[in-house]
Amino acid sequence: MECAATGRVPPHLGVLLFIEAVKARFKPADLTGAFDMHDATTLAVPRAARLEGWKADLAASLLAALVMVVTQAAGGFPTLFDSGGDNDSVMRLVQIRDWLGGQPWFDLHQYRMGPEGGFVMHWSRIVDAPVAAIMLAVAALTGSMATGEIVAAIVWPVLLSVAALFLLVRAARLLAGPDTVIPALVIGAITLNSGGLFTARSLDHHNLQLVFALATVTLLLAPGRRRAAGAGICAAIMLAIGMETAPYVAVAGLCAAATLLAPRDDGTAAGFGIGFAGASALALVTTVPPSEWWIAQCDAYSARLGVIAVLGGLGLTAVAAFTGSRGLPARLAGLLVLAVAVSAAAVLLAPSCFGDPYAGLDQRLRDFWLDAVTEAQPLWRVFERQPENVAQNYVTPLIAIGLLAMTVFKAGARRAELMLLGFLLAATAVSVWQIRGTNFSLPFAIIALAAMVAAARREARQGDGKAAVRMVLAWLVSLPLVWAAGSHTIADLVAPKQNTVARGAEKGRLTCTADATFARLAQEPATTVLAISNLGAPMIATTPHRVLAGPYHRNIAGNVATLDAFMGTAEEAHAVMRREKVGLLAFCPGNGETKSFVRWAPHGFMAELVAGNVPSWLEPIAETSGQPLLLYRVH
């Protein structure tokens, strides 16, 4: 995940302030107070008082979100008509258009991508419905669906940003009292705005999943049957949206179950279980076609996974009902029986989901596509390829984990800290495997970091100069943006020329993602277009054509054919085009994927195109000469 706002602050700011803090020569013991999330005053705040102030929190969140959208507007909403490589948001727009254009609710085929007949996407309609509602409402008022799309592309991410900020504030308040509100808002707004999940045209499902994840955490932090039921509903919905949230759903279930081990049953386990089971069943019947209920798949919600979810939820409710008034041994025995039953059901119904999630992927796609997908990179590969991006994605979650662990060690095992620590550990583990996990670990970390900054601000108000320095340090270390600025500054100092070239290459790549890039292509009669996978979604969103390649693991046949064409000889490429009835070749020399093909196959068809060796059976479209996207008719 790139830090989109790295250049908006002076790159040396974090480094200079850090040096100044070190010069103050405060003792290590002094740091403990600033990094302690609790003091006697905070711990004395009654739970009822912590639940108050939601109206003020909501108003503050609205204001912070307004600042975020004004910041984007001041820059002209740069992502509104330029995907910037965010293919999933563009593809989501295409999917919504297809549905509004008459494609059935349960039909998730993408007919204009891949081989003849397309392929079935693994996305949920849960995201499509609210975005489509905004589009239709605006179109009804303005008479223009295009206007509806633009408004929805701005309003939907803003609404989600308000929800995310509000939930962060509420979670921080529940964790450590009202002093956390301002730090949670400031750190949250800066982090969310720079992360890219809530920018204009962010229609992908990750931002909605994050909102449901934060809602799950927040509701579980406050004891009570009804709030726990709400947490169960949120957990089920985010699971139905995308299976990548399964680790956080598992943590939520474990946290709810663990409350049965407390001296008094507060209804959390029963509430979570019934909410999770009910929402899981409802999501199945409303979003998954009955014809696909029992198909074994692990990348999308299905009846097999739904049965496991319902069994787990109802089982937890049953354990709570029959053992809640009994002693600890009975509760523990009930939970062990439930764990065995759910595990057995998972092994019987979805055994393939315990293995490699990409087991069915063609080996060539693993080697030449998945290995280059940015959001799928593990930590060790980020270290290898983009070490300057490590700090901004991993440091603040590690700090938050350390803070929570230290608090548990000093003050004892308490519900709020242990629950948040569980979610944060799960998200950080996922981010080590694939960097997309930082979409959750960074926001989860904000809750603990806000408590740290709140404690530092209380100490600074006492007038101690060292305390003021510690407060500044607490603010700085809580912002991934500061870590990004510092690491990129160091990278520029170490290898300035290399990084300048890399930024230039990135700029060239982005010139082939703007909607306007495909204006000339849209004028050609509808046909099948051969292009690199990164341009597939923008092409079908802006033109009437169908494309062979797209960056989706279910489009195996289309992506393999594209690899064969671009990595083979010119004759082999021509054979692929004839077989797939390709009428146009779209070629973007500045795109990073184009350069990867040249590196993978230095004597292949793509390398020949880059070198200017165009075969006679390709007819250049003269109007595109000198443009970022070159077009050729195939004969």
Whether residue 346 sits in one domain with residue 220:
yes
Instruction: Mark which of 355, 386, 421 sits at the end of a domain.
Output: 355
| Burial per residue of 483-494, b for 16 or more beta-carbon CB atoms within 10 angstroms, e otherwise | bbbbbbbebbee
Instruction: Mark which of 465, 494, 523 sits at the end of a domain.
Output: 494
- Has residue 75 been placed in a domain? no
Whether residue 487 sits in one domain with residue 406:
yes
pLDDT digits 0-9 by tens, 67-104: 888 988 888 888 899 888 889 999 999 999 999 999 99
pLDDT above 90 coverage of the chain, percent: 60
Please check whether residue 152 is in contact with residue 135, taking contact to mean a CB–CB distance below 8 angstroms. yes
Rounded to an integer, what distance in angstroms lies between the CA atom of residue 136 and that of residue 101?
12
Rounded to an integer, what distance in angstroms lies between the CA atom of residue 608 and that of residue 64?
51
Predicted pLDDT at 263: 82
Beta-bridge partner residues of 586 = 631
Backbone angles phi, psi at 630, to 5 degrees: -95, 135
- Has residue 419 been placed in a domain? yes
DSSP letter string over 197-249? Answer: TTSTT--SSHHHHHHHHHHHHHHHHS--HHHHHHHHHHHHHHHHH-GGGHHHH
Predicted pLDDT at 360: 66
Beta-bridge partner residues of 446 = none
- Has residue 291 been placed in a domain? yes
Whether residue 439 sits in one domain with residue 316:
no
pLDDT digits 0-9 by tens, 269-285: 999 999 999 999 999 99
Whether residue 430 sits in one domain with residue 337:
no
What would the two tokens of residue 501 be? 């070239």
Q: How many domains does the chain have?
A: 3
Please check whether residue 311 is in contact with residue 345, taking contact to mean a CB–CB distance below 8 angstroms. yes
Instruction: Mark which of 434, 460, 494 sits at the end of a domain.
Output: 494
- Has residue 176 been placed in a domain? no
Under-70 pLDDT residues of the chain: 1-52, 355-360, 370, 495-511
Predicted pLDDT at 358: 65
- Has residue 86 been placed in a domain? no
Whether residue 460 sits in one domain with residue 409:
yes
Whether residue 487 sits in one domain with residue 345:
no
What would the two tokens of residue 623 be? 């109007």
Rounded to an integer, what distance in angstroms lies between the CA atom of residue 207 and that of residue 439?
8
Residues 395/400/403/406 CA torsion (nearest 10 deg): -90
Whether residue 606 sits in one domain with residue 518:
yes
Predicted pLDDT at 52: 58
Residue in the block written with tokens 């709400």: 230
Whether residue 404 sits in one domain with residue 316:
no
Type of residue numbered 441:
S
- Has residue 435 been placed in a domain? yes
Which residue from 211, 247, 249, 181 is spatially nearest to 447, judged by alpha carbons? 181
Predicted pLDDT at 15: 37
Whether residue 396 sits in one domain with residue 272:
no
- Has residue 484 been placed in a domain? yes
Whether residue 328 sits in one domain with residue 253:
yes
- Listed in sequence order, the DSSP H helices in 495-582 are 496-510, 519-522, 536-542, 556-567, 570-579
Whether residue 529 sits in one domain with residue 485:
no
Q: To 5 degrees, how large is the angle CA 231–CA 232–CA 233?
A: 90
| Burial per residue of 219-250, b for 16 or more beta-carbon CB atoms within 10 angstroms, e otherwise | bbbbbbbebbbbbbbbbbbbbbbbbbbbbbbe
- Has residue 125 been placed in a domain? no
Whether residue 529 sits in one domain with residue 609:
yes
The boundaries of the domain holding residue 586 are: 510-634
